[in-house]
Amino acid sequence: MKPIFTGILPLILIILFSSQTILLSQNDQFSGNNATTTNSNQKINLDDSRNRFPEILHDVKVLLSEVLIADHHLDTLEVIYNLSRIYDLLMEADQIGDMNQEDQEEFERFEKSFLDIYTHKLGTIRSSDAPVTAERFRRDITEALDPLEIEMGKTKYVVVDDRDGHIPLVRNKQVDQFITYFTTAKGRKQFAIWMKRYVEYKDLILPILKKHEMPEELMVLAMIESGLNPKAYSRANASGMWQFIYSTGKNYGLKRDWYIDERRDPIKATGAACEYLKDLNEQFDNWYLALAAYNCGSGRISRASKLHQTYDFWQMHSLPRESRNYIPYYLAAAIITKDPEKYGFTIPKVKPFSYEEVVLEHSADLAVLSRV
């Protein structure tokens, strides 16, 4: 047996054993409940009432074992595929609702172990030059890092920049957590790619923001949404640098048909994003809420504001974890982008994005032309 595989084998066995123990314990509990139900002649649909969390945790542990095996065999695609399945299951687990104390502790232990394995033990991920999609990268961080609780009415932060006409930049424990991630290990590698694209596209994007009288910091929104990749496409069918879904893009004048998808046009999409963000900011009169609404929808932010009786984003604890982390994630990226050298990044020398406009007076079917 190879030494490397010998090293990961105990880890795999521990993962599988702990998952089987949890599942068996849960099954015993269900068996007892079933016996009671039978004796009392009551008909209860256990599938509707049982706790799904142990099954989910069992599945993610099995998948993590498969990740380790695939990593040992240098099968990068299999590693990425199973990691994607783990992320989806973790998101499902996070949305189950209130967990009991035992489930919550088990979930937190797994998250900690998963982050350690993902960060330090997966050679295929560390050696891969393929950039992680911005959507996946954001979910990766926000789901893996431990959540930080903020007491109602006691949000503490330090103002970094609060000029008129700009989005206020502040730091607190949540923001600092993301800054640390961006400036160490895997996060630094990905952020360096984003900085390269920022330099490449800033001469194109910033003038459009200025034309629409929008804060220049909004370019960072495209950074965290897509990594400033005009061809980005998400599992929610959002497309382009600004990650418009079809309906929102259509509402703001972006055309999509068989031949063209203007959501991938960095110029037109930036103009549409400016109009959309302007509407959101007018609705909430608060840039943090406008940006959060860009992520999870204005309806959800409105409901959270009414529920908590506040316009303070930091106090909207009912928002999903990804939405709660969206603003600190954005602020961390904006603060680093404002002064990258302070955080150890070298401003790359990149040729600015350039393009030529060509007017097409006619179109033709390539299948027809091929027969000419």
Tokens 């390539």 found at: 366
pLDDT score of 254? 97
Contacts for 309-318 with beta carbons within 8 Å, 24 or more apart? Answer: 311/284, 311/285, 311/286, 312/155, 313/286, 313/288, 313/289, 314/150, 314/155, 314/157, 314/172, 315/150, 315/152, 315/153, 315/155, 316/292, 317/150, 317/152
The whole-number pLDDT of residue 238 equals: 86
Q: Tell me the catalytic residues.
A: 225
Within 13 A of 295's CA, how many CA atoms are on the CB side? 27
Q: What is the pLDDT of residue 200?
A: 95
pLDDT of residue 139: 58
What's the pLDDT at 35?
40
Minimum mean pLDDT range among 123-137, 226-240, 245-259: 123-137
Mean pLDDT of 70-79: 79
Task: Give the whole-number percent of the chain exceeding pLDDT 70.
Answer: 73
Domain 137-372 has CATH 1.10.530.10: yes
- Going by pLDDT thresholds of 50, 70 and 90, the confidence category of residue 66 is confident
- Mean pLDDT score across all residues of the chain: 79
Give the percent of the chain with pLDDT over 90. Answer: 40
DSSP assignment of 113-142, as one string? HHHHHHHHT-HHHHH--SPPPHHHHHHHHH
pLDDT bucket at 298, cuts 50 / 70 / 90: very high
